[in-house]
Amino acid sequence: MNGLPARDLQIKAEEDRRHLHQSVEELRLHLRETLDVTKNTREHLGLACSLAALVSFTLGYAFTGIFVD
């Protein structure tokens, strides 16, 4: 290959596997924190309430429009 002994290649492969494993664990942790619904709702409570009120008002208005001329 490139002239490195087999043992050096094995050590490098082990280091690469450890690094990849660590990167995947960091990504999982980051995604878990980013996609945490409870945490995001607490941080953006005003926006969540406003959005829920808007959706409720729109659905209520549309539903009422079915029965009223």
Tens-digit pLDDT string for the chain (69 aa): 567 788 999 999 999 999 999 999 999 999 999 999 999 889 999 999 999 999 999 999 999 988 886
**Domain tally, the chain:** 2
Predicted local confidence at residue 69, as pLDDT: 64
On whether residue 40 sits in a domain, the answer given is: no
- Which pLDDT does position 65 carry in this prediction? 87
Tell me, yes or no, whether 15 lies in a domain.
yes
Domain of residue 65: give its range: 45-69
Residue 30 maps to a domain: yes
Kindly state whether residues 3 and 31 are assigned to the same domain.
yes
Residues 1 and 29 in one domain: yes
Q: Could you tell me which of 32, 36, 37, 62 has the C-alpha nearest to residue 48?
A: 37
Tell me whether residue 22 is in a domain.
Answer: yes
> Contact, 33 vs 39, CB < 8 A?
yes
Residues 49 and 30 in one domain: no
